[in-house]
């Protein structure tokens, strides 16, 4: 820190006689309420009051830390003159150098306390829309936020992230080996053939997946029919467009690539559609007669299967689904679920 400054004064009575006896000058550090006054990298004020006693002829000389070297900013000293046990006068001074109180001017009015450092709320380097409220939340429950006190927040991911190393799922989030290698995915799923209409099925992901490919296997010979498959958010906005797949006469696996998309744990809509009135047959979950009965229960209390108001357009799934009209999947209506491989 800078060396302490020297503050001098001469104290006397109305007859101009220097006062020595029971007189002293008291320095009191002020204007630091709510803060601990410190001298940066040097020390902390454990006492904020200092008394200086006069020498011969009432001369006072006292070393004191300058206000310009004290944190917080805008501190000052109240200088009090005492004699025979009583306060006779006082004034406020900001000391920023060697000071002679015989000529120094008091500060009036006293400075206000320094404002705390401005708090800036940002996310990814961008300013938050509100600079008065910061409310951290996880809308999809994929992160647990714990306030550990003293300004520390602990963020814990609730689901693992699956990316690379062969991470995959079929159709509406299917990864169960018994389902994949059993009979459920070996069937020829015949989806509703109303041209352009998008069917959606609700499903859940329990982990985060990053996907960039979609593959299908046509099992019929509906030449000229295109199939479209994708994933939408629960709010009905398109997240993944698997592209267009042309039905082939032979059973060849077709793969489309797209820009990688990360899907955090949550609830989504799986979408499927054809562009031509007729049927589209692919590897998937074939709804049997008993499955149709299960479909009635599946949609009893909330919408889990529906047709979207917005149809395919320009050879692609719509950007949003629009209004959803629920239905109970039925084998009689060709409502089976196609299961593309997403990876």
Query: Would the pLDDT of 142 be above 70?
Result: no
Burial 197-213 (b: 16+ CB within 10 A, else e): bbbbbbbebebbbebeb
**Averaged pLDDT for residues 294-305:** 78
On whether both 239 and 316 belong to a single domain, the answer is: yes
The pLDDT tens digits for 167-190 are: 899 999 998 887 777 766 666 777
On whether both 178 and 270 belong to a single domain, the answer is: yes
Any idea what the CATH number is for the domain that residue 25 is in? 2.60.40.1120
On whether both 324 and 212 belong to a single domain, the answer is: yes
Domain that holds residue 192: 169-342
On whether both 327 and 236 belong to a single domain, the answer is: yes
Question: What pLDDT is recorded for position 21?
Answer: 81
Domain for residue 115, yes or no? no
Domain for residue 116, yes or no? no
On whether both 55 and 175 belong to a single domain, the answer is: no
H-assigned helices in the chain: 177-181, 289-298
Listed range (1-5, 52-56, 167-171, 172-176) with the worst mean pLDDT: 1-5
On whether both 236 and 145 belong to a single domain, the answer is: no
Helix (H, G, I), strand (E, B) or coil at 67: helix
Domain for residue 113, yes or no? no
Query: Would the pLDDT of 160 be above 80?
Result: no
Domain count, the chain: 3
On whether both 220 and 335 belong to a single domain, the answer is: yes
**Averaged pLDDT for residues 70-92:** 94
On whether both 152 and 190 belong to a single domain, the answer is: no
Domain for residue 311, yes or no? yes
Tell me the two tokens of residue 107: 């500060």
Domain for residue 106, yes or no? no
CA-based torsion, 256, 258, 260, 263: positive or negative: negative
Domain for residue 107, yes or no? no
Q: Are 184 and 338 in contact (CB under 8 A)?
A: no
Query: Would the pLDDT of 139 be above 60?
Result: yes
CA pair distance 80, 29, nearest whole angstrom: 11
* 232 alpha-carbon distance from chain centroid: 22
The pLDDT tens digits for 98-110 are: 999 999 999 988 7
């Amino acid at each position: 820190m800078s060396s302490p400054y020297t503050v001098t004064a001469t104290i006397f009575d109305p007859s101009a006689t220097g006062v020595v006896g029971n007189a002293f000058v008291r320095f009191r550090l002020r204007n630091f309420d709510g803060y601990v006054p410190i001298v940066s990298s040097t020390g902390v004020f454990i006492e904020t009051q200092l008394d200086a006693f006069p020498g011969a002829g009432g001369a006072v000389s006292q070393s004191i830390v300058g206000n310009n070297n004290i944190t917080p900013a805008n501190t000052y000293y109240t200088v009090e003159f005492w004699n025979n046990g009583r306060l006779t006068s006082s004034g406020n001074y900001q000391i920023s150098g060697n000071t002679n109180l015989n000529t120094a001017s008091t500060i009036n009015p006293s400075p206000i306390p320094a404002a705390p450092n401005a708090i800036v709320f940002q996310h990814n380097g961008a300013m938050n829309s509100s600079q008065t409220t910061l409310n951290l939340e996880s809308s999809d429950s994929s992160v647990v936020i714990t306030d550990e006190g003293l300004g520390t927040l602990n963020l814990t991911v609730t689901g693992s992230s699956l990316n690379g190393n062969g991470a995959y799922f079929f159709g509406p989030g299917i990864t169960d080996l018994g389902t994949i290698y059993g009979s459920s995915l070996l069937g020829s799923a015949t989806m509703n053939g109303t041209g352009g209409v998008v069917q959606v099925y609700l499903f859940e992901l329990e982990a985060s997946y990053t996907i960039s490919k979609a593959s299908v296997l046509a099992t019929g010979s509906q030449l000229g029919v295109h199939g479209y498959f994708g994933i939408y958010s629960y709010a009905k906005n398109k997240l993944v467009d698997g592209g267009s797949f042309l039905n082939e006469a032979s059973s060849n696996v077709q793969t489309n690539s797209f820009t990688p998309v990360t899907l955090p744990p949550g609830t989504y809509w799986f979408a499927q559609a054809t562009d031509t009135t007729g049927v589209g047959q692919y590897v998937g979950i074939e709804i049997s007669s008993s499955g149709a009965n299960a479909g009635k229960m599946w949609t009893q209390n909330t919408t889990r299967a529906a047709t979207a108001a917005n149809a395919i357009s320009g050879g692609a799934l719509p950007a949003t689904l629009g209004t959803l009209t629920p239905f109970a999947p039925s084998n009689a209506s060709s409502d089976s679920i196609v299961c593309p491989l997403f990876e």
